[in-house]
Every structure is written in C-alpha cells, then in structure tokens.
Amino acid sequence: MNQRTLLITLTGPDRPGVTSRLFSVLAAFPVVVADVEQVVIRGRLTLGILLAYSGATPSGTGGTLGALWTAVERTAGDLGMEVELSTGSDLQEKRRRGRLHVTVLGAPLRPAAMAGITGRIAAAGANIDRIERLSHYPVTCIELAVSGADPGALRAELAVEAHAQRVDVAVQRSGLHRRAKRLIVMDVDSTLIQAEVIELLAAHAGCLEEVARVTEEAMRGEIDFAESLRRRVALLEGLPQETLEKVRGELVLTPGARTLVRTLKRLDYRFAIVSGGFTQLTDALVESLGIDYSAANTLEIVDGVLTGRVVGEIVDRPGKARALERFAREADIPISQTVAIGDGANDLDMIAAAGLGIAFNAKPVVRQAADTAVNVPYLDSILYLLGIPRAEVEAADAEDGVTSAGE
C-alpha cells in the first residue's frame, strides 16, 4: 500500500508531560513516527510530529483519521494549546502555501496602510486567521497570521504595497522555522552604531572627504571591499594611537540597540557582531553590551602611531559570511537558526547565508537581496520580526532597572 504522512503541530505554554500525553493519544492508532521536532522559547512550546501510515486513513482500535484528529484536538484543548494537522495529500501544498506571519511596522501606522496590506492578502486568495499587536512604541507593530498564500508571491505583492504606504512588511513561515532562530549576527557601522568608524578616524586625520567617497563606492558594491579598505586605511598613516580612544568616545549606538541586545540576551539568544571596522573599537562595544562573539579587522600600530595597514585576515564580504558560520559552529546552532542584519554590499553574503536576512536602513542592493527590510530608525524593531512582543522588552528593561524605552 502507499505510504502516507500526517503532520501534527502543537503550540502553546510548555509544561511537564505534554509530549508524553500526545504520544499516548497517538498510540491508539496504527501510525508510526517518521519525525519529531520540538523547540521551547521562554516557556512556549512548539512540537511537530510527522506520522506515517498505510492505506486511505489510519484506522484501527482508535478509529479513522477523523477520530485521530478529534482525539488530538481534545487533548490540545485540555492543555490550553493550539493544534494544526496536515495530511499527506496536502503536505506538499501546505509547505508551499502554508501558514505565514505577516509583520507590519509603522511609525505611525495609518489605516490606509492596513487597508492596502489586508486588501493585497485578500486578493492573493489568502485568509487572515488572527491579528495581534506586538508593540505600540517606539513603532506600532501588527502581526497577522495568514493561511493559504504562496509565500514568494505574497512577499512580492506586499513589498509593493509597503513601499507605497511607507511601512515595513515582513512575510515569514509560521512554526518551528520562525520560532527557532537562536543566533543574531549584526553589522556594526551604520547598523549597531550610527556612523562609519573609519570616517570618524579620517576626520581626525584630515582626509574625511576622500575616505567617505571610497566608503560609498564600497557600500554600493562598485569596488571590492578589501581593496577599498586598504586604500582608506592607507590614508590614516601617522595617526596617533590616542585618537582611537577619542573615537571610542564618539561612538553613538543606533536607537534601540541596547534594548535589542538586552532583550535577546534575556531570552537566551546568542548575539554577535561582525565588522569591516576595527577591533580597537569593536572590542569596547563587545564589553559594554555583553556581546557573545565578534569579528573585525585590526589596525597595525607601531611606536604609538597607525602604519596605514591592517594585520591578519581582512573581514570583507565573504569574511563576514565565514564569521557567521564560525559563530554558529561555536554556539552549536544550525545556520537555518541564524539571523543576519546589515546595510551595505559587504553584508550580502552573510545575509544570503543566514536563515533570515534583514536589511536595516540599507542600500537598495541589500534591500532587494534580503528576506525583509526594516526602514524605521529603531533597531529593537527587529524583535518583532522574530515574534517577540513588547512585553518581553519591558520585562528585560525591568530586570535591568531601565525606565526609558528605545535605548
């Protein structure tokens, strides 16, 4: 007989015995376990069980497929959890046209924007199953649970509407794929901080205009980053080492940066930075923010002055992707559970390699390549793309005695 499959996805508050109870219910039916996947994040469980069976329906002492579904649904109700079932005949289509999360960010978020977005969802033949507000400050974030849409097609349609309405929209698959992101890897210059470090150094060296011109060419992908770095660093030759300390004092975090890192760390995420800048400056960020992993270039200093050269392997576009892969190995986290965030062309490889690539106030080439783009000026807005509500931010703030949001 033909082998068929059945996928059960259970989500809700974690508690002892949930997995055991579900398998006890399934034991009454002539099915076999083909695969199991489970993740718990801050007390919320997502459990996926793939079953295999022969024949038209899994019949036996427990009855038909309908009886199995009734038993599973009743158990989920008793546990206060949500359950979804997909049969073998529609699993492939469910994978292509499954449940999605559509996240809308606006500052402000106007009714016309929601009208346009929900209209596009309806026009795609999809259904909005649930609407929930994740945040009202510093941006308004609304999340829609959508079913029956092709992810690629819906993402393209909503990108057009988002541009027209001047809001940010992200489309992601629901379930374990989204909930299991565990490692965040972020660019530094113009992402974690509000400036390009080499330009701050160049201002002290009196060569800002020339360095800024080369930086822009590199960020647009017009010249090779490694070559552009060498050209810019060469202009810093003779700069006193003490200037690095002055520039460290000039670094300004992007609004929401501390909130983002603090909240993710509280939720047991790993956080990393990877920079085309310099360790002499990024090391201070690592220490002050409690960052887990970092990679950056190192300026050569001899007799207290910059030589105009870097030492060691250059962290360029492919180097950033290699760093992401190295961080994932060290954290024992699959690449599919990583998030990469950047704004320039040298971030493209790590954005492509990560499970989720986010363009943050990025150049057009990066916005086009990333899975989603954030154009509001608040870095903590990225939390909402991960399904983390404002309540978690406030809980992290309270633990650290923080009273102002958007830090």
Strand segments (E) across 81-151 = 82-87, 100-106, 127-135, 140-147
Asked if 189 is an active-site residue, the reply is yes
| Cα 39 to Cα 19: distance, rounded to the nearest angstrom | 12
**The token pair that represents 402 in the structure block:** 């923080």
| Cα 365 to Cα 359: distance, rounded to the nearest angstrom | 10
Task: From the candidates 14, 78, 90, 189, give the one annotated as an active-site residue.
Answer: 189
Asked if 187 is an active-site residue, the reply is yes
Task: From the candidates 187, 292, 316, 347, give the one annotated as an active-site residue.
Answer: 187
- Residue 329, Cβ density class (10 Å: 0-12 exposed, 13-18 middle, ≥19 buried): exposed
Q: Residue 128 in contact with residue 118, Cβ under 8 Å?
A: yes
The backbone torsions φ and ψ at residue 295, rounded to the nearest 5 degrees and listed phi first, read -150, 135
Q: Residue 201 in contact with residue 243, Cβ under 8 Å?
A: yes
The CA distances from residue 96 to 63, 148, 150, 225, 309, in Å, are: 30, 9, 6, 37, 50
Q: Residue 346 in contact with residue 369, Cβ under 8 Å?
A: no
Helix (H) or strand (E) holding 319: helix 317-331
Residue 399: count of CB within 10 angstroms of its CB = 11
DSSP class of 23: H
**The token pair that represents 145 in the structure block:** 């649970």
- Ordered alpha helix ranges (H), 206-266: 208-219, 225-234, 242-250, 257-266
Q: Residue 177 in contact with residue 149, Cβ under 8 Å?
A: no
DSSP class of 228: H
| Cα 139 to Cα 380: distance, rounded to the nearest angstrom | 9
- Which residues have a catalytic role annotated? 187, 189
